[in-house]
Structure 1
Amino acid sequence: MSLKSKKIPRVLIVDDEADILELLELTLVRMGLEVVRASGVKQAKERLDSESFDLCLTDMRMPDGEGLEVVRHIAERSLDVPVAVITAHGNLENAVAVLKAGAFDYLSKPVALDQLRTLVTSALRLPGQSEFKKGEESVLLGSSPVLAQVRELINRVARSQAPVHISGESGSGKELAARLIVEKSSRHGQPFIAVNCGAIPENLMESEFFGYRKGAFTGAEKDREGFFQAANQGTLLLDEVADLPMAMQVKLLRAIQERKVRRVGSTQEESVDVRILSATHHDLVACVQQGRFRQDLYYRLNVISLHMPSLREMREDVPQIANQVLERLRGSSTAKFSAEALRELERYDFPGNVRELENIIERALALCFDNVIAPVDLQLMPLQSAQGEVMPGGVGKYPLTDYLDRIERDAILEALHQTRFNRTAAAKILGVTFRALRYRMERLSITDKDNID
């Protein structure tokens, strides 16, 4: 087990029932840990203020208070002590409350010793604060206030097992944020599986997520793991989670709550230890209100919210980000931006965010003269007036690539509106595959917000 230091880790266990304390202590001592008991909230606070601990396990309800008070006490004093709360079985509200308060994780009664050992091992792998922030600046560039808030929230949620929902426009770096959370968490050396929920055919979803047994259906020639098994001990990112069909949402909710999955064709459930992160450019609250997303699943995934800002919200960071992207893409070239080009980028709205910025720079590298990228090399989309007319800076059919993109975008939107944004039907009208349509929609920044029906 990888521990935080060479000394024997100390664990504070808090419960008013002597037999529970005895069980917890026996299990932890067998793991080679030093255990200190507290019989209630008051004694736990006194211990935390006077002694040093590497982990705290506390019951939820005790005669002199609740475990939430212990969680808040640790948070208020900025103690570097992960805390887990033992809650009543099936009480989702308690579980969500303790995670929102800053708990590392929770356990349901009756306590399963294998889950307890897994939780303790994960908590003691958490990096220390000095190690925690190492390398952070190299991933999220920029000094704008909105980006500083994102960094701070990532730092905090990484030290928890709480589900995190990452929202933001297409191309704003939602998967990058998820990877950063994982790198700073106790699961940084474990599997990270990112799944695009909208790219999986509905009839294959259950077998893809939960796996299947040999002979479960035609073509199932051998046992196969699903995403949950592949991510065991690690993290599963549900990208574009709003695209999950309702039937799959029910099964996913149960897997997350019970921490167990059943392969297609099997009668046995198997335990999985997976932290869930989710992301989408959709407004999940609106999806719930429209009946397209289950409210109970929304609350289970959205324990902590992280919003990735668009480039429009952090214009002062655009030059730094652009230079970093240029350095990565130019290879052995010495190409650089002119001052005018950087000012143009800073003024541009970037409907496709960082993904669009990368495309713009890659194109500019091919067009620039004498290794200096000028404004004309950027070929930025022209600004649009309120009436949709092209404003000065770009007219008519030029640049050709922008003109063709506008034609393609209009054709796709027309097909989508004809089919009430049914992407499968729209793909048939356009004569392309569903996957090709998804790619084109992402490239052209077409989202459900474009659905004017």
Structure 2
Amino acid sequence: MNTSPRQKILIVDDEPDIRELLEITLGRMKLETFSARNLGEAQALLQREHFDLCLTDMRLPDGTGLELVQHIQQRAPHLPVAMITAYGSLETAINALKAGAFDFLTKPVELPRLRELVSSALRLPTAGGLSTAIERRLLGDSPPMANLRKQIDKLARSQAPVYISGESGSGKELVARLIHEQGPRASQPFVPVNCGAIPSELMESEFFGHRKGSFTGAVEDKPGLFQAAHGGTLFLDEVADLPLSMQVKLLRAIQEKAVRSVGGQQETVVDVRILCATHKDLEAEVSAERFRQDLYYRLNVIELRVPSLRERRDDIEALAMHVLKRLAKDTGQPEARLHPQALEALKNYRFPGNVRELENVLERAHTLCENRTIEAQDLRLSEGNCTADGAMADLTQIDNLEDYLESVERKLILQALEETRWNRTAAAQRLSLSFRSMRYRLKKLGLD
């Protein structure tokens, strides 16, 4: 006989019919319900009982649902709260998510959506396990990283769309994965997509799928990225690279929570949490009319900034040790050690490519070093990106100006390609070059 206690749900609504509907539905899910007619009754119940979820109407006789969300955030931050709003009150729903609500429902309440939301909220990890798991994956004890872990912990307990900003190579995809893995969708797919790497003519098919025969080459039905991420998380990396025509279709899919495949006649309902990222200034892209303002507001409900490696130099040693241990394990060789001068050189380097560049630098040095000791010269750091004294180039080391300039050009282009995962279009944009000019330089330098 199962004697485990039933999970408790607090329902806050001044309409008896709504309370009764929610009580009956949740009772059939074997959940114990407690009801409150107003803010005061809800706060009194919260003092007496431990709850696993709170469902609250936005408008209450003596206050608002937002006030209740804020009250719970202060006293029981790990209690998920779902807001019930009038149909079409998107701004209200967004304000609730920003205040810390887990998710929202619109009136009239659709029972399948209610059951889905409740089941998702009750799958949240219990308090205490989140920070430890995040700490194991996100290395560094600097204040910026401590703050980032705290924010990830909080956002993992929400269904709000998150815009992850930060420089290339700073770890935006890892942050997105952690938000997914520590949340209620962890057992469902995490689907990352680099928006800058999909040819514009294939975007609609890639995102929404296509039906057999809908265009030349469509030899069978194919689901899109939204369908692949159903029940889980869709991570849109470099979202600023989406063309305006695709932005319109993406906005509609997010608003309607449904997609129509290319050549399809009916829409398919999809349940995905949207996380997005870009190294560009998305607000500036909106001002320049390269990114739709309405889509920006839907994606940027909450912004999470990932610090650059320059902002957390205290973490460089720990990161370097971690990378060297991984390289030793991967290669089956003894672990290399960093000479103190090499470590100092790393700490004085600007790292325009952030953690990804640190990994590449150490991987190269690990291969080149002798006696399992990485010397400063093994790092082959670009002097122009060192912060120590800003010294000018040593002319005695330059035999031929053209060769020297060509080597600098090669380094910068390779760095841009590495930072953009060898996406030539994105690398050209990073260097403010036209694609034609980029193609010419790649051919000239033998990099094509």
Same fold, TM-score > 0.5, yes or no: yes
Normalization by structure 2: what TM-score? 0.88
What is the letter of the counterpart of residue 369 of structure 2? C
In structure 1, distance between residues paired with 2:376 and 2:249: 51
Q: In structure 2, what is the equivalent of residue 259 of structure 1?
A: 257
Whether 2:57 is the aligned partner of 1:56: answer no
Residues 195-241 of structure 1, C-alpha deviations (whole Å, 9 max, x = no match): 00001111111111111222222222222111111111100100000
Q: How many residues align?
A: 425
After superposition, the C-alpha distances for 1:133-171 in whole angstroms (9 at most, x for unaligned) are 233222111111111111111111111000111111110
Instruction: Select which of 133, 142, 157 maps to 2:140.
Output: 142
| Corresponding residue of 1:378 | 379
The one-letter code sitting in structure 1 at the alignment partner of 2:366 is L
User: What SS class does the counterpart of residue 137 from structure 2 fall into?
Assistant: coil
- 8 Å contact 1:278–1:301 — kept in the other structure? yes
Residue aligned with 1:137, SS: helix
Deviation at 1:266, TM superposition (A): 1.7
SS in 2 for 1:278: strand
> Residues 341 and 11 of structure 1: is their aligned pair in 2 closer, same or farther, counting only changes over 3 Å?
same
Deviation at 1:428, TM superposition (A): 4.9
Letter in 1 for 2:12: V
Residues 262-284 of structure 1: CA distance to partner in whole angstroms, max 9, x if unpaired?
A: 11112211211101100100000
* CA–CA distance in structure 1, aligned partners of residues 58 and 104 of structure 2: 10
- Counterpart of 2:422 in structure 1 is none
Residue in 2 that maps onto 1:80: 78
SS in 1 for 2:133: coil
Query: Residue 185 of structure 1 aligns with which residue?
Result: 183
Q: Give the match for residue 445 of structure 1.
A: none
- 1:83 to partner: Cα distance: 0.4
| 1:396–1:403 CA contact under 8 A, matched in 2 | no
Q: Work out the percentage of aligned pairs sharing the same amino acid.
A: 54
Out of 215, 218, 221, the residue aligned to residue 217 of structure 1 is 215
Offset of residue 27 of structure 1: 1.3
Instruction: State the one-letter code of the partner of 1:215.
Output: G
Q: Which runs of 5+ in 2 are unaligned?
A: 417-426
Contact 1:385–1:391 (CA under 8 A) maintained in structure 2: no
SS of the residue 1:134 aligns to: helix
- Residue 94 of structure 1 aligns to a residue whose secondary structure is helix
Change (3 A) 1:378 1:336: same
Which secondary structure state, in structure 1, belongs to the residue aligned with residue 326 of structure 2?
Answer: helix
Contact 2:349 2:386 in 1 (8 A): no
Partner of 2:119, secondary structure, is: helix
RMSD of aligned alpha carbons: 2.8
User: What letter is aligned with 1:75?
Assistant: Q
**1:326-369 Cα deviation digits (max 9, x unpaired):** 11112332311111111111111111111111111111111111
* Counterpart residue number, 1:248: 246
CA distance in 2, matches of 1:276, 1:402: 46
- SS of the residue 1:300 aligns to: helix
Distance 1:405 1:352 in 2: 18
Contact 1:384–1:390 (CA under 8 A) maintained in structure 2: no
AA matched with 1:365? H
Instruction: Give the whole-Å Cα distance in 1 for the aligned partners of 2:115 and 2:339.
Output: 57
CA 359–395 in structure 1, closer or farther in 2 if over 3 Å, else same: farther
How many angstroms apart in 2 are the aligned matches of 1:61 and 1:114? 23
CA distance in structure 2 between the aligned counterparts of 1:217 and 1:165, rounded to whole angstroms:
34
Cα shift readout 1:245-272 (whole Å, capped 9, x = no counterpart) = 1111111111112211111112211211
Superposition deviation, residue 403 in structure 1: 7.1
Name the CA shift for 1:420/1:131 in 2 (closer, same or farther; >3 Å): closer
> Post-superposition shift, 1:382?
0.8
Instruction: Name the SS for the 2:383 alignment partner.
Output: coil
The answer to whether the 8 A contact 1:216-1:264 is kept is yes
**Structure 2 matches for 1:24-423, cutoff 5 A?**
24-331=22-329, 332-383=333-384, 390-391=392-393, 395-396=397-398, 406-408=408-410, 421-423=433-435
Instruction: Read off the aligned partner of 1:7 and give its amino acid letter.
Output: P
Which amino acid in structure 1 is aligned with residue 352 of structure 2?
A: P
Range with bigger deviation, 128-137 or 138-147: 128-137
Partner of 1:447: none
- 1:7 match: secondary structure: coil
TM-score (norm 1): 0.87
- The 8 Å contact of residues 142 and 321 in structure 1, kept in 2 or not, is answered as yes
How far has the Cα of 1:126 moved from its partner?
A: 0.2
Q: Tell me how far apart the structure 2 counterparts of residues 228 and 394 of structure 1 sit (CA, whole Å).
A: 58
Counterpart of 1:451?
none
Change (3 A) 1:368 1:199: same
- Letter aligned with residue 345 of structure 1: L
Between the aligned partners of 1:137 and 1:23, the Cα distance in structure 2 is: 42
What's the offset of the Cα at 1:324?
0.5
Contact 1:193 1:236 survives alignment (8 Å): yes
CA distance in 2, matches of 1:335, 1:403: 33
CA distance in 2, matches of 1:420, 1:315: 28
